[in-house]
């Protein structure tokens, strides 16, 4: 049942973006966004409708850091680890988040609410430390402010 | 995030109304646009500095049924955020520049490749494009000019720094892993879907919009002979006023440090992780292609910063972001990072460090794309320029 709805969803995406190979990334992005990962079944379905080899699809997923083939939490939090955010206090923010969530970077909370990751420069270096919560950006973080932002997400 | 602000500058941040460049373009025609661009001596603002008029002329001259204009908004260089400011606060400049590009080279399709990290801008940019369509600045027979059709779509990246390299970006748009291509052929002949394509930086398009309206000669009144016009600098790190500044090329590092109110500066990293790090003794150097060329990232480090730590952060960045396609870059960056860690632990020999610097020189020559060709820059410049601090610190190299 669930498989059928995923197939349907993928076919809708193909209608929207087109059947060409160049539609692969937007389709993968849409699936990732909705399901927080691209399952084996989704990969095969995408390969089938675009008429490319599933290994190609897998290869593309593993190349991009925002695409994943393993389940993630409902929200992905990415703290910038690059130099300007680093010297502006990334470490204390990172420590506070880890303590509060009880997980380390690269891990997902037990209730599947949050996956915590590092990211490279987010283009907010003038307002660091910065983090992305899904696609929203937060800047001028302090340990307290970061934890407060995370406590508000659903 | 901070609110939009009104900025002032001689070129990019000077007076401009949406559509100005497109109106002018339609009235003067392709040849004149190319002429003004040539006069302006504008060079690509992404960092490589290729003359924009040459790129456009080549794409305009290429014969094909389809051509593309791509705006490279995959700004991933550490310390750079000027595209963020341009796209959020000055979309009229960027999009008008693209439309003029389409008109000049004869393309009907424009694509903005927006880095995944900037997805939060997508909605406002798409709304903006919709307004342009309503005003007939995009679409069919733009401004009533028969046959002048051009539209823009936005495509998102997915978190890969190397996609800022133009051929990797094209691969990504075609639905592949973002791996750089061999050149030649160049995108101006064989680009997206094998068609002639001009790929320009966000700031380049913004500059074009002003040049078309005010002329190449006006543009040249700013900057220096070899580096004409102005440049946007993204300034971050140890200073009171970080942000985006428009300054004429030729400004010295000291002048810039004064403007942003930096105190006790020890080092300035010019050009981001892939750029060079200069010490105080070189702060009188000029920003410009003839001396310190840069895509615009300026990172400031004061006396309290540990330069080995800075270097380690850069090398970790490159190890993560190398696409892994070619050995000099994939293995080389790992070796350089290991070298930094050896120094950190005090377990190095100068003989080996010198070998690593030589490896860095080899990487610059042997790597396939700009990432591996420039990643050794910070390694070499930081170890050279901050020797005292790193090796003669009385701790036997340990930190
Ligand atoms: S230089 Fe690095 S990033 Fe560029 S193609 Fe080679 S491995 Fe990939
Ligand atoms: S270094 Fe963190 S946003 Fe650029």
- Give A118-139 pLDDT, tens digit per residue: 999 999 999 999 999 999 999 9
Neighbouring CB atoms inside 10 A of A40's CB total: 10
Q: Specify the 3-state DSSP secondary structure of A114.
A: strand
Give B190-221 pLDDT, tens digit per residue: 999 999 999 999 999 999 999 999 999 999 99
What whole-number percentage of chain B has pLDDT above 70? 97
Interface contact flag, A119 B159, Cβ < 8 Å: yes
DSSP notation for A24-69:
HHHHHHHHHHHHSS--HHHHHHHHHHHTS-HHHHHHHHHHSTT--S
For residue B379, report the distance from its CA to the centre of ligand 2, in Å: 20
For residue B262, report the distance from its CA to the centre of ligand 2, in Å: 18
Return the residue in B76, B158, B275 with the most chain A beta carbons within 10 A, the one to mutate for interface testing: B158
Tell me how far apart the alpha carbons of residues B111 and B128 are, in angstroms, rounded to a whole number.
15
Q: Say whether residue B158 is in contact with chain A using an 8 A CB cutoff.
A: yes
Whether the predicted pLDDT of B5 surpasses 80: no
Q: Which ligand is nearest to the CA of B313?
A: 2
Q: Are strands A131-133 and A136-138 parallel, antiparallel or unpaired?
A: antiparallel
Question: How many angstroms separate the most distant Cα atoms in chain B?
Answer: 74
Tell me how far apart the alpha carbons of residues A29 and B116 are, in angstroms, rounded to a whole number.
10
The answer to whether residues A23 and B193 touch, using CB atoms and an 8 Å cutoff, is: no
Q: Is B326's C-beta closer than 6 angstroms to any atom of ligand 1?
A: yes
Q: Which ligand is nearest to the CA of A93?
A: 2
Tell me how far apart the alpha carbons of residues B170 and B158 are, in angstroms, rounded to a whole number.
14
The answer to whether residues B269 and B277 touch, using CB atoms and an 8 Å cutoff, is: yes
Tell me how far apart the alpha carbons of residues B298 and B86 are, in angstroms, rounded to a whole number.
17
Chain B residues inside the 8 Å CB shell of A139 = 1-2
**Tokens representing B196?**
């002639």
Q: What is the pLDDT of residue B276?
A: 95
> pLDDT tier at A2 (50, 70, 90 boundaries)?
low
Return the residue in B78, B113, B115, B300 with the most chain A beta carbons within 10 A, the one to mutate for interface testing: B78
Tell me how far apart the alpha carbons of residues B230 and B360 are, in angstroms, rounded to a whole number.
32
Give B298-321 pLDDT, tens digit per residue: 999 999 999 999 999 999 999 999
The answer to whether residues B117 and A122 touch, using CB atoms and an 8 Å cutoff, is: yes
- Note if the pTM is more than 0.90: yes
């Amino acid at each position: 049942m669930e498989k059928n709805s995923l197939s349907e969803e993928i076919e809708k995406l193909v209608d929207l973006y087109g059947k060409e190979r160049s539609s692969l990334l937007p389709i993968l992005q849409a699936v990732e966004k909705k399901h927080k990962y691209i399952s084996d079944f989704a990969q095969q379905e995408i390969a089938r409708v675009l008429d490319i080899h599933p290994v190609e699809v897998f290869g593309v997923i593993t190349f991009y850091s925002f695409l994943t083939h393993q389940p993630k939490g409902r929200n992905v939090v990415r703290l910038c680890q690059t130099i300007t955010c680093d010297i502006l206090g990334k470490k204390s923010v990172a420590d506070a988040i880890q303590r509060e969530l009880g997980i380390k970077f690269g891990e997902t909370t037990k209730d599947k609410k949050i996956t915590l990751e590092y990211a490279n420069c987010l283009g907010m270096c003038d307002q660091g430390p910065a983090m992305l919560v899904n696609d929203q950006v937060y800047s001028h973080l302090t340990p307290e402010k970061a934890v407060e932002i995370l406590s508000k997400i659903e | 995030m901070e609110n939009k602000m009104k900025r002032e500058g001689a070129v990019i941040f000077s007076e401009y109304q949406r559509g100005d460049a497109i109106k002018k373009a339609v009235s003067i025609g392709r040849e004149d646009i190319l002429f003004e661009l040539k006069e302006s001596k504008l060079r690509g603002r992404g960092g490589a500095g290729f003359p924009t008029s040459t790129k456009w002329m080549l794409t305009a001259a290429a014969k094909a049924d389809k051509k593309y204009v791509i705006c490279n908004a995959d700004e991933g260089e550490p310390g750079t955020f000027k595209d963020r400011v341009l796209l959020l606060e000055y979309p009229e400049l960027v999009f008008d520049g693209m439309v003029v590009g389409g008109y000049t080279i004869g393309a009907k399709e424009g694509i903005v490749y927006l880095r995944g990290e900037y997805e939060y801008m997508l909605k406002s940019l798409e709304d903006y494009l919709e307004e342009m369509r309503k005003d007939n600045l995009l679409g069919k027979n733009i401004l009533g000019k028969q046959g002048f059709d051009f539209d823009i779509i936005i495509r998102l990246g997915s978190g890969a720094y190397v996609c800022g390299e133009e051929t990797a970006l094209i691969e990504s748009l075609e639905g592949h892993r973002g791996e750089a291509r061999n050149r030649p052929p160049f995108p101006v002949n064989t680009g997206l879907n094998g068609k002639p394509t001009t790929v320009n930086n966000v700031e380049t398009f913004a500059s074009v919009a002003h040049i078309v309206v005010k002329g190449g000669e006006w543009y040249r009144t700013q900057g220096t002979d070899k580096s004409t016009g102005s440049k946007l600098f993204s300034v971050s790190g140890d200073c009171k006023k970080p942000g985006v500044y428009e300054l004429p090329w030729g400004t010295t590092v000291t002048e810039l440090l004064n403007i942003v109110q930096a105190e006790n500066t020890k080092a300035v990293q010019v050009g981001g992780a892939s750029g060079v790090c200069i010490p105080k003794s070189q702060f009188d150097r000029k920003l410009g292609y003839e001396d310190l060329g840069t895509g615009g990232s300026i990172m400031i480090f004061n006396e309290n910063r540990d330069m080995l730590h800075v270097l380690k952060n850069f090398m970790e960045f490159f190890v993560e972001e190398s696409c892994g396609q070619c050995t000099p870059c994939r293995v080389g960056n790992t070796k350089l990072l290991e070298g930094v860690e050896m120094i950190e632990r005090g377990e190095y020999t100068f003989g080996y460090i010198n070998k690593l610097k030589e490896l860095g020189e080899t990487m610059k020559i042997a790597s396939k794309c700009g990432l591996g060709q420039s990643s050794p820059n910070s390694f070499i410049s930081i170890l050279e320029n901050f020797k005292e601090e790193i090796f003669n610190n009385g701790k036997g190299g340990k930190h």
